[in-house]
Amino acid sequence: LDEASPGLLRLGLSSGEPPWQVATSPRAAAELQLQVWVAHSLAAGRIELQTGLPVPPLELLPPVCEVDGNLHAAWTMHANALGQVEVEEVLSPSDEAAGVTTALQCVREWAATGEVDASRLRPSAVRPLARALAHNGAFVAFKVSGNALGAEAAALAPLLGSSRTLVAFEMRRAGAGPAEIGALGDALAGNRFASLSVIDLSDNAVGDAAFRLAAGLRSLRAGLLAELKLVRCGVGPEGMEMVLLAAGTQKNLLELRLGGNTLGGRGSQALGTLLPQAPSLTALDLAGTALEPAAAFGPAAASVDPFSARPEPRALQKLAELDLSGIGWALPLLDG
């Protein structure tokens, strides 16, 4: 692609003969260069990008299965397309002493377990990694907990919006706010082939984005979700109501952890609706929630035993773990 004339594509042979000149549109030239680049990179076993394309390369990248089947190659390709020329420097400076400092080393570790742990990566390296994983079926879990992603958390949306094999998604303490969580919920809602069974977004500022997250939960196939963890996410009664109603469609729910949020009356009523519909539930965390027992467990539930009014007490008898710490009316129950 002639830098001086963006619409001119120069094609030449390595023998040094004068190149052909073909007049074309900048986009057509960019697309042709992309195809040549991908083919050459696959043949050479590496991905390289040196271009001054008038069109952002990321807009031209197709979901090439042959490339995305190789996580390291795909990761490098997407990183180059984002202008990250030093893709191999993926770890944060404080973790480089651990001995795993390159993308290739990370991929080799992940391949042994089928689990991608991006918790130690530089936030800028997570964006191309998520795009690379979007069409890669070799990995079933993605973790990025404790990584201060902030606004970069929204870059994980392509992963949730496209992956058909991802089973577990863990993003605790990532500094994500309502905008980022909402983007993830929207992406999940648009993926009718999603296979998520474990979702952990604890210690992020979900807030009002709980409505968009709930839409994503409702899109999951019934009986698919096994664990939902939204501890200390700043979700209010209305948001909790929507999340609980969405989770109520999941008959195989095993763990529900909502501690540190505000259930109020509406959330408590939704919880009361969910409990009889979750026969497999073994762990329930409501620590520190503003739970209204009468709404969740029946009119007589505000007495000594809040579960005595349950029409089906067996729904709670199967619980192996119940956390009601910080809830005053629960003390008589816990003492018993």
Name the most confidently modeled range: 127-131, 165-169, 314-318: 165-169
Q: Which helix (H) or strand (E) holds 8?
A: strand 8-11
Contacts of 154 (CB under 8 A, 6+ apart): 176, 179, 180, 183, 184
Sign of the alpha-carbon torsion through 18, 24, 26, 29:
negative
C-alpha dihedral over 137, 140, 143, 149, to 10 degrees?
30
147 pLDDT more than 60: yes
Considering only CA atoms, give the Rg of the chain.
25
pTM for the predicted model, two decimal places = 0.74
Tokens representing 248 are 């109520």
- Over residues 70-84, the pLDDT tens digits come to 787 778 777 777 766
224 pLDDT more than 70: yes
Under the banding of pLDDT at 50, 70 and 90, the label for residue 175 is very high
205 pLDDT more than 80: yes
Comparing 178-187, 234-243, 267-276, 306-315, the range with the smallest average pLDDT is: 306-315
Contacts of 180 (CB under 8 A, 6+ apart): 149, 150, 151, 153, 154, 204
Q: Residue 52's pLDDT is what?
A: 46
